[in-house]
Amino acid sequence: MDTVTVCIGQSLSLDDCFDTTQVTDINISYNIHYNLQPTDFVSVDRRNPYTFSYSTAGTYTVVQDINKGTAQQRKKIVVVILPPAPEYTLQGCNNNVLSVHLDGQRYKRYYLNFGDASAPKIINFKGADTTILYTYASPNTYTVAVRGMIPPSDCGVEIQQQMTVFQSLIKPEVMSMTATKAAGLTVRFDARPFLQYRFLVKKQNASVYTFADTISSASGIITANVPNTSDATTVPYCLMVQAFDVCGNILNSTEMCNSPLDVQSLSGQNIIEWPTYTPNAALQSYELFRDGQNVGTFNSALTNQYTDTNIKCGKQYCYSLRTTLTHKNGLNNDNITISTEGNKCVTAFFNTKPAALTHVTASVSEDNKILVSWQKPSISIAQYNIVQHDGDNSTTFLVAANDTSKQMPNVIAADKKYCYTISYTDSCGNVSDESASICPVYLSAFEQKGQKMLQWSAYAGTPAATGYRLEWLDENGQVVSLQDFNPSTNSFQDNTLDTLHQLLRYRVRVLLPDSTPVYSNIGTLKQRLKIWIPEAFSPNQDGTNDAFRVYGYFAEKVDLQIFNQWGQLVFRADNFRDAWDGTSNGTDVTAGVYVLRMDITDQTGHKETFRQTLTVAR
């Protein structure tokens, strides 16, 4: 009983091997077992051509019945299998060479069609390293077909793959390499789908590169992690991306080395160090960043340290380094960059006494309270200490770090003049010296022997005064006049005549080099009420002294009354503009002596009454 192996779907036909031209008295028929059930047969007359196939894997029987006087029967066993897909690997090599690696676990023979004009090849599997090298006429992408062959019918499954063959390897085009705490080294480069890549890595001072990882079937710009470099933010590594083929050809990228930072904080300075870039011929520059801002660019590969003194006590600073190589990638002609993104952070400190404040002022407000102001130093502050000096007494006030002024609670007065000193504590706990004494200007305005006198105290502060400016103010506090004086002058006699304002308001502005507004208190001087009352007049129409009129300054309200000798009111006025013409109810009054009473309220609200006699002459 013969056995034949065929594939599912393979077309089969019957051949009885008898020469029907010579043998005519034989009747032959067939019973074909077409299902896996033993009773499932189909009968076929051999005189009628018949082809068939199986759709299910299994073992089947074909029975040949021969009748030549006596009955004979022959059988053939048909083993139907589902052929497996062939396993093979395509890889390209230099010079348009295609490598086909066959897996013989499923087939012992293979049919290969290389997709060009050449004839297909039949390959016998010769062991685990059965590899066929085929050279194409030109680089291109080809469709390669491989079919496993099962004897005796050579049936099997055909699998097609596309493969690009190339004239020569292409140097890996690297854009950047980055070191992070989370992923170690990552490389961004342009991968070609028909090439294979591997990472070669070493610690920077080592002499030999070691294999790290292989990347296959990648396409386009990719970012890949380099295994076993999780410490790359603290340990310097050098890396190359290597393109290779199975034929032993290799081509390396530019050598790249990361430069992890070491940062330490000393008093008043942060020291940043990094390893010298070993392949120094490729270096274009180092760029050092602090809190994301560039603080230095260095073009020498031998530079490996930077001292940062532009720091504030108690503030944290984070540094990172970016290395730029002179080599350019071929994709967009940009320089290759290497970054270490694991920022190294330190907190700055100082253990030296900070400088005393040099810009402190004291200005008096309209309510006679003193505002002490200062310029914040460039270092980080914890608090300010203001000491108020009042003769032998002193009081300390603590002020928050973010403030640059303090409204003092006391009121300046002639018998209460204050001076101040300020010190501060920085965020490292260092206490500065006290500032120079700051004393605001106190202005006194008074009348002396009928003269308006002004005196002011000397200003003390930093910066020192370059002069004084005396300001005349209206009732709304607006400057209506001013006069400047040198810094050695501290008094003035005001000889100006002001008949509109009874209450005079003065203020001294301290002139400073930077024009900071600093003022004294407002000094006030009340001018006396000025009234002139004639004692007689002659209303006789001779053109001389025909009317009675009162003159004066600073009267806000007026009530003028004139009475005759019988106590009768003959004239009344509420201002100085109305004159008396010597009549009462349209009739001339008689010559004689009259009594005058005048009640006046001045601009300050003070009331005063004037009484005298008035002679009317005719």
Instruction: Give me the residues paired with residue 477 across strands.
Output: none
Clarify whether residues 190 and 337 are in a common domain.
Answer: yes
> pLDDT tens digit string along 410-439?
889 888 889 999 999 988 899 999 999 999
pLDDT at 223: 94
In contact, 317 and 176? CB cutoff 8 Å: no
Clarify whether residues 96 and 178 are in a common domain.
Answer: no
> How far is residue 442's CA from residue 448's CA, in Å, rounded to a whole number?
19
If DSSP codes are grouped into helix, strand and coil, which group holds residue 281? helix
Q: In the predicted model, what is the mean pLDDT of residues 381-390?
A: 95
Q: In the predicted model, what is the mean pLDDT of residues 59-77?
A: 76
Q: Is the dihedral of CA 42, 46, 48, 50 positive or negative?
A: positive
Clarify whether residues 248 and 178 are in a common domain.
Answer: yes
> How far is residue 74's CA from residue 51's CA, in Å, rounded to a whole number?
19
**What percent of the chain lies above the pLDDT cut of 70?**
92
Is 369 contained in some domain? yes
Q: What is the CATH number of the domain that holds 142?
A: 2.60.40
> pLDDT tens digit string along 517-533?
999 999 999 998 999 99
The residue range of the domain holding 584 is 530-616
Confidence of residue 596 (pLDDT cuts 50, 70, 90): very high
Query: Taking 70 as the threshold, does the pLDDT of residue 173 lie above it?
Result: yes
In contact, 344 and 319? CB cutoff 8 Å: yes
Confidence of residue 114 (pLDDT cuts 50, 70, 90): very high
Task: Could you list the beta-strand ranges (E) of 365-426.
Answer: 369-374, 381-390, 393-400, 405-411, 419-426
Is 254 contained in some domain? yes
Q: Which amino acid is at 395?
A: T
Clarify whether residues 175 and 157 are in a common domain.
Answer: no
Strand order in the sheet with 592-602: 536-537, 607-616, 592-602, 555-563, 569-573
Query: Taking 70 as the threshold, does the pLDDT of residue 330 lie above it?
Result: no
Q: End of a domain among 325, 349, 373?
A: 349
> How far is residue 175's CA from residue 173's CA, in Å, rounded to a whole number?
7
Clarify whether residues 206 and 309 are in a common domain.
Answer: yes
Is 343 contained in some domain? yes
Strand order in the sheet with 393-400: 393-400, 381-390, 419-426
Query: Taking 90 as the threshold, does the pLDDT of residue 487 lie above it?
Result: yes
Using alpha carbons only, give the angle 545, 548, 553 rounded to the nearest 5 degrees.
115
Q: End of a domain among 426, 451, 474?
A: 426
In contact, 469 and 482? CB cutoff 8 Å: yes
Using alpha carbons only, give the angle 194, 195, 201 rounded to the nearest 5 degrees.
160
In contact, 167 and 95? CB cutoff 8 Å: yes
Q: Which amino acid is at 320?
A: S
On the CB side of 225, CA atoms within 13 Å amount to 10
Is 180 contained in some domain? yes
Distance of CA 411 to the CA centre of its chain: 47
Clarify whether residues 49 and 136 are in a common domain.
Answer: no
Number of structural domains (the chain) is 6
Distance of CA 293 to the CA centre of its chain: 10
pLDDT at 31: 67
Clarify whether residues 609 and 562 are in a common domain.
Answer: yes
Clarify whether residues 370 and 295 are in a common domain.
Answer: no
Q: End of a domain among 122, 148, 165?
A: 165
Q: In the predicted model, what is the mean pLDDT of residues 142-146?
A: 97
List, as one string, the DSSP characters of 12-46: EE------TTT--S-EEEEEEE-SSSTT-EEEEET
pTM (predicted TM-score): 0.54
The average confidence (pLDDT) of the chain is 89
Q: In the predicted model, what is the mean pLDDT of residues 136-162?
A: 92
List, as one string, the DSSP characters of 184-221: EEEEEEEE-TT-EEEEEEEETT-S--EEEEEE-S--EE
pLDDT at 332: 57
In contact, 517 and 507? CB cutoff 8 Å: no
Residues whose CB is less than 8 angstroms from the CB of residue 209 and which lie 6 or more positions away in sequence, other chains included:
200, 201, 202, 238, 240
44-58, 254-268, 416-430, 571-585: least confident range: 44-58
Is 436 contained in some domain? no
Clarify whether residues 366 and 231 are in a common domain.
Answer: no
| Better-predicted residue by pLDDT, 216 or 112 | 112
> How far is residue 189's CA from residue 220's CA, in Å, rounded to a whole number?
8
Q: In the predicted model, what is the mean pLDDT of residues 231-238?
A: 91
In contact, 226 and 199? CB cutoff 8 Å: yes
Clarify whether residues 241 and 324 are in a common domain.
Answer: yes
Lookup: tokens for 416: 């209460």
Clarify whether residues 125 and 159 are in a common domain.
Answer: yes
Is 148 contained in some domain? yes
Is 497 contained in some domain? yes
> How far is residue 472's CA from residue 194's CA, in Å, rounded to a whole number?
91
**Residue 485 backbone zone (phi > 0: left; psi -120 to 50: alpha; other: beta):** beta
Q: Which amino acid is at 372?
A: V
Clarify whether residues 237 and 107 are in a common domain.
Answer: no
Q: What is the CATH number of the domain that holds 564?
A: 2.60.40.10
Distance of CA 315 to the CA centre of its chain: 18
pLDDT at 295: 95
pLDDT at 76: 84
Buried-state track 419-455, b at ≥16 Cβ within 10 A, e below 16 = bbbbbbbbbbebebebbebbbbbbbbbeeeeeebebe
> How far is residue 254's CA from residue 238's CA, in Å, rounded to a whole number?
10
pLDDT at 22: 52
Is 57 contained in some domain? yes
Residues whose CB is less than 8 angstroms from the CB of residue 416 and which lie 6 or more positions away in sequence, other chains included:
390, 410
> pLDDT tens digit string along 351-363?
989 999 999 999 9
Q: In the predicted model, what is the mean pLDDT of residues 439-465?
A: 94
